[in-house]
Amino acid sequence: MTRVRTGILLVIVLGSCAPLALVQDHQHVATQAADIIDGAKTPDLIPDSAAWRLWLIAVTAEDSSKPERATRRQHAFLRMAGVVEDDMVIADFILANFKNDYASLINSYNNSMGGMPAKELRAKRDSLVQATQTSLLGALAPLSVKNLRNHITREKASMKVAREVQ
C-alpha cells in the first residue's frame, strides 16, 4: 500500500513539473535563435569578414597530434576552394602568417586579463582577416582568386555565426 501511494505521489509531482520544463526550454531556444545567423536560411546576412575569418581559421587549424599532416590538409582545403597548384606555395606562406598573427592576437587578448576591450580585439581581428584576404587575392592567379571568392560565398550556406555586438 505504501509503495502505491509513493508511486502515485511521484507521478503527480513529475506530471506537474513537466509543463514548467517545457516552457523554460522553449524560452531558451527562442532567445538563442535570435542571436544566431543561420547561413542555410540567410547567407547574405553573414558578413564577408566573418565568412573569411571562419574559413581562414578552419584552413590553418591542425591536429596537434599529427602536425606532419598540416600541409596536406591545408592543400586539400585550398584545392576544394579551387586554388590552382601553382598558387599553393604562395598561399602556404600567407596562411602561415595569418595563423601566427591570429594566435599572437588571441594570446595577447587572453594574457591582458580584461585589459583589452572585446571591441578592440574584434577590430584587430577583422583588420588581420582583411589584410590576409587582400594578400591572398593580390598574390594568387586570377582563376584562383575567382574560385576562392566563389567558394567562400558558397560556404556561407553552411555557417552559423553569432550577431556581433556593436
Which pLDDT score, from 0 to 100, does residue 15 have? 53
Q: What is the pLDDT of residues 117-129, one digit of tens each?
A: 888 999 999 999 9
90 Cβ partners below 8 Å, 6+ apart? 139, 140
C-alpha dist (Å) from residue 111 to 103, 104, 105, 106? 12, 10, 10, 9
pTM: 0.75
DSSP state of 116: S
Q: What average pLDDT does the segment 50-79 reach?
A: 90
Tell which wins on pLDDT, 121 or 114.
121
Q: Give me the residue spans of the domains in the chain.
A: 1-34, 39-159
Cell numbers describing residue 101: 598573427
Q: What is the pLDDT of residues 11-64, one digit of tens each?
A: 454 455 544 444 444 444 444 455 899 999 999 999 999 999 999 999 999 877
Integer Cα distance of 116 and 102 in angstroms: 15
Tell which wins on pLDDT, 140 or 2.
140
